[in-house]
Structure 1
Amino acid sequence: MSGKKNTAAMILAAGQGTRMKSALPKVLHQVAGRPMLWYAATLARKVATQTVAIVVGHGSEQVQAYLEQEKADFEPFEVVIQEKQLGTGHAVRQAYPVCTRNDANQADQFLILNGDTPLLTQGTLASLVDYHQSEKAGLTILTTVIPESHGYGRVVRGQSGEIRRVVEHQDASAEERGISEINVGTYVVDASFLGKALSQLRPQNAQGEFYITDIIEMAVQQGLKVAGWVTNDYLETTGINTREHLAIAEKEMRRRICQRLMLSGVTMLDPERVIVDDGVEVGRDTSLYPGVMLEGRTVIGTNCIIHGNSRLNNCLVGNNVLIQDSCVLLDAQIEEGAVIGPFAHLRPGSVIHRKGKVGNFVELKQTEVGEGSKVNHLSYLGDTVIGRNVNVGAGTITCNYDGFRKARTQIEDNVFIGSDVQLIAPVTIGEGALIAAGTTVTKNVPPNALGISRVAQINKEGTAAKRREILSSSSAAHTQAKQHDDPEPSSLGSNLQQKKDPV
């Protein structure tokens, strides 16, 4: 983009989106982990040099709450509320005063785009603005040619190819509906023309709405040049009006993300079966197996391996980490060289330090596993801090909840915990201590001590044989009684036949 002219932007995001069949405002529906409005707002902020005005209407409170939450991504911007949704022209009318009230640094031109076209790229918008300036046009519209144009506004051109007008599908004649070039709904308009044109808009259409497309005919009548920048990628221009459109955009956005990661040095055995949210970072030489899902603001280091069907949400993963099959990691931190899984569940607040290991069917919550420590099998640890070089045996549980409050368990360095141990929090296991298998720990264990709590084993000679003899006799008696109560099938049939015969 040449940058010679000051550009303000307007994002039209007030529509209800009735075909989405949802209580959620349309522009807050997510594509690759982000609301579609995020894509429009960040894109406008990159291209515009002046004010970005976001027009909201249906569900305005929800939309404004989201914008406030994520404002760091696209500041500065201003929200304009369209109380009644009376069409795109009416929405631009509401935004125009906001974009022109800065008398000290007025915009030379306006970029107008929709909040429901998340696949638009910065390159396309920059080319649109450049083309507008190079053609010295009063108005430039973004268009594309699609195989199926039903429902879209058609671009009507004159005999020499000049744009004459845009007609909406419901207002188009049969001949006009045969046109395959459609209006994307993205415009660049000179400031000297837009204000006057907006004041002249009238709802002269089947919908009784103010169409921004009507300013095209106004520009033609005033002798201004109307240019059209045609993008070859019609998928990029997809507007989201239905859940089907949402799925199309989702698939394309994730394809782009995977392509970008592979170009940066990430290996994917089957990229069509890897799901990565926008905003996720993955280091080079990391391998992602089929079925992997990386969500939110997850960051993966270099040279990691994440096996199939594992899901990571808002996780921080260091270098050289191995995550085995079918793991779920939520808001967890995994340091360099750690091994996770298979079938491990790390809930929020879990931290696995260098070369730690969390193995088969282990669940952690608010738990820190120290460097080189291992929790290998069938354990639940909650609200626990584990030191360095600790071994936690199979079936170990930290009992962190007494029905009223949560309590913490502290396991210091070099502790060995045997299998099937219950640690009743709050409790501390001192450095170097040994906890015998089957122990229920209810009080602190000093450093280097053996903790054991189980009754003495008693062996009763011959008891097993006597038990088998009793059970065998009981089973035989039961079988004889059953045979006596139930007549043989042939005898039963004979009795039934006798009852049927006449006397």
Structure 2
Amino acid sequence: MKTPLHVVILAAGKGRRMRSNLPKVLHLLAGRPLLSHVVAAACEIDPTRIHVVHGHRGDLLRKALGDSDIEWVEQKEQLGTGHALAQALPSIPDEALVMVLYGDVPLISPSTLRKAMAARDIDGARGIALVTLKVDDPHGYGRILRDDRGRLIKVIEEVDANEEQRGIREINTGILTASAGILRPRLQGDSAYPNAQGECYLTDILARAAADGYLVRTVSPKTTEEVLGVNDRVQLARLERFEQMRIAESLMRDGTGIADPARIDIRGRLRTGIDVFIDIDTVFEGEVVLEDGVRIGPGCVIKDATIGYETEIFAHSVIEGAEIGASCRIGPFARLRPNSRISHEARIGNFVEIKNGVLGRGAKANHLSYLGDARIGARANIGAGSITCNYDGANKHPTVIGDGAFVGSGVMLVAPITVHRGATIGAGSTITKDAPPDTLTLSRAPQRSLKSWRRKAPPEKGDPSLPEGFSDPDSRSGPDSGS
């Protein structure tokens, strides 16, 4: 029978060094809370149960990870890591295996966790596994003390270490695995809280377990960054760049071209086909899919979108909640807002904004247009500066433009309205009624030229009619006059 595995994630710290009202474990790394990274790693090792020990603003933690299958445990007093673990143990049976993780150590990998489980299993119920690491600069970390046979006997904090012990390069990460039956008795009673502050730490438990004859085996992670904690925003930024580089390298190995892996930010999940190319300073958020042959220009921001085969997104376009078909051309400086669907071979040009709209196959809106709540048919053309007037101050209204319709430049389509198939709308028109099919519709005021009209002359230099403190701009001279 499989031994039940309970993962306990300690996430009760306030994170004062973050200087934030937000709990430390909810600060974002690659677009996700630190805590969610740890939960995701824990889920990969198929635990029976995940317990999160929280303190400060636990309501926010629950809200951020509300969909996760987690047992939330409150640590009302902050009395050390051992005390935090003790809060979760009442619901864990003695025979269960307990793995202790930390909500502010976000990049721990499932492979390292599996190594820790395997190391502990060598000795069955009497085994303990601890993740340790040898580093060039161990400053600030607890050191691993071993006996002459190489067995771990103690973890000593730097403040308590002598000169020789401070020279030890093997450090404690705090990530450990042991049976609840080993941990529980060492977290109970006054002996578990030996210091003047009445606090209990997991390092003390390791020393007592080793003294009682339990063998503590150690394993090491593949990278240092896996076990680095986040205590301030500087450390968070360093881990952010490491994680972004890791994601970029993974994409490139799978065939994605990235102009500069140091200038891409993926804040969610990005899935790419073959021969995709991503230029510099791009940001991807949420769930994004780039199909084969897609090209993303510099400075684009793309969130929760699917972009079809061989579509090109030109520079500085913003796309959110949109679905784009194959062989489209979008941008530069285009904006697609949520619930926009762009069919194959469509063209959206510079400074065009689409919201809750559909653009049919081969349709074009090339310049300076706003198309809100519009359904635009195949091969329709939207002229420069034309917009759908979809909002009356209280409600949104739809515009329907049929297949092959031609809307000239500077047209106002006052919704609700239908421009039927093949209709042509003359430039500069304000259309308030449905336009019939295959017909020219226009609405223009008569043009007049008034010969008697004269443009008002500018004030003379030194004109006393100018307000006090103002001068005639034409009175300035010299290379900086702007004239």
TM-score with structure 1 setting the length: 0.86
Residue 398 of structure 2 corresponds to residue 400 of structure 1: no
**1:212-251 residue CA offsets vs partner (Å, 9 max, x unmatched):** 1111111122111111113352222111111111111111
**1:112-140 residue CA offsets vs partner (Å, 9 max, x unmatched):** 11111111111111112112223555212
Shift of residue 173, structure 1, vs aligned partner: 4.0
Q: SS of the residue aligned with 1:315? A: strand
Whole-Å separation in 1 of the counterparts to 2:211 and 2:75:
29
1:146 corresponding residue in structure 2: 135
Whole-Å separation in 1 of the counterparts to 2:34 and 2:226:
13
2:182 corresponding residue in structure 1: 193
Structure with bigger helix share is 1
Residue 119 of structure 2 corresponds to residue 119 of structure 1: no
Given the superposition, is the C-alpha separation of residues 123 and 151 from structure 1 closer, same or farther in structure 2, using an over 3 Å criterion? same
Equivalences for residues 351-500 of structure 1 within 5 A: 351-458=341-448, 463=451, 478=460
1:259 corresponding residue in structure 2: 249
Whole-Å separation in 1 of the counterparts to 2:365 and 2:293:
23
Q: How many pairs were matched up?
A: 462
Whole-Å separation in 1 of the counterparts to 2:209 and 2:11:
25
Moved more, 168-177 or 134-143: 168-177
- 2:186 touches 2:192 (CA, 8 Å); kept in 1? no
Whole-Å separation in 1 of the counterparts to 2:334 and 2:203:
55
Residue 132 of structure 2 corresponds to residue 134 of structure 1: no
Q: Percent identity?
A: 38
1:26 corresponding residue in structure 2: 24
Q: SS of the residue aligned with 2:388? A: strand
Residue 156 of structure 2 corresponds to residue 162 of structure 1: no
Q: SS of the residue aligned with 1:116? A: coil
Shift of residue 60, structure 1, vs aligned partner: 0.5
- 2:286 touches 2:304 (CA, 8 Å); kept in 1? yes
Shift of residue 442, structure 1, vs aligned partner: 1.4
Whole-Å separation in 2 of the counterparts to 1:385 and 1:47:
47
Whole-Å separation in 2 of the counterparts to 1:395 and 1:323:
21
Shift of residue 326, structure 1, vs aligned partner: 0.7
Shift of residue 179, structure 1, vs aligned partner: 2.8
Whole-Å separation in 2 of the counterparts to 1:208 and 1:172:
21
Shift of residue 190, structure 1, vs aligned partner: 2.7
Structure 1: 5+ residue stretches without partners: 483-503
Given the superposition, is the C-alpha separation of residues 160 and 415 from structure 1 closer, same or farther in structure 2, using an over 3 Å criterion? same
TM-score with structure 2 setting the length: 0.90
Q: SS of the residue aligned with 2:269? A: coil
- 1:394 touches 1:418 (CA, 8 Å); kept in 2? yes
Given the superposition, is the C-alpha separation of residues 41 and 455 from structure 1 closer, same or farther in structure 2, using an over 3 Å criterion? same
2:261 corresponding residue in structure 1: 271
2:476 corresponding residue in structure 1: none
Q: SS of the residue aligned with 1:253? A: helix
**1:302-347 residue CA offsets vs partner (Å, 9 max, x unmatched):** 1100011111011121221110011011111111221110010112
Runs ≥4 residues deviating over 4 A: 477-482
Structure 2: 5+ residue stretches without partners: 465-483
Q: SS of the residue aligned with 1:19? A: helix
Whole-Å separation in 2 of the counterparts to 1:160 and 1:288:
53
Q: 2:54 aligns with which of 47, 56, 66?
A: 56
Given the superposition, is the C-alpha separation of residues 348 and 207 from structure 1 closer, same or farther in structure 2, using an over 3 Å criterion? farther
**1:274-300 residue CA offsets vs partner (Å, 9 max, x unmatched):** 112342212221110111111111122
Whole-Å separation in 2 of the counterparts to 1:376 and 1:297:
27
The letter of the residue matching 1:99 is I
The letter of the residue matching 1:331 is G
Whole-Å separation in 1 of the counterparts to 2:328 and 2:346:
5
- 2:423 touches 2:436 (CA, 8 Å); kept in 1? yes
Q: 2:296 aligns with which of 297, 306, 315?
A: 306
Q: SS of the residue aligned with 2:302? A: strand
- 1:255 touches 1:272 (CA, 8 Å); kept in 2? yes
Shift of residue 438, structure 1, vs aligned partner: 0.5
Equivalences for residues 198-217 of structure 1 within 5 A: 198-200=187-189, 201-205=191-195, 207-217=197-207
Shift of residue 94, structure 1, vs aligned partner: 0.9
Shift of residue 444, structure 1, vs aligned partner: 1.4
Equivalences for residues 261-340 of structure 1 within 5 A: 261-340=251-330
Shift of residue 55, structure 1, vs aligned partner: 1.2
Whole-Å separation in 2 of the counterparts to 1:478 and 1:219:
95
Equivalences for residues 215-234 of structure 1 within 5 A: 215-231=205-221, 233-234=223-224
Moved more, 153-162 or 181-190: 153-162
Q: 2:77 aligns with which of 77, 81, 84?
A: 84
Q: 1:16 aligns with which of 14, 23, 32?
A: 14
- 1:19 touches 1:241 (CA, 8 Å); kept in 2? yes
Whole-Å separation in 2 of the counterparts to 1:442 and 1:172:
82
The letter of the residue matching 1:61 is D
RMSD over equivalenced CA pairs, Å: 2.3
The letter of the residue matching 2:177 is V
Given the superposition, is the C-alpha separation of residues 481 and 40 from structure 1 closer, same or farther in structure 2, using an over 3 Å criterion? closer
The letter of the residue matching 1:120 is I
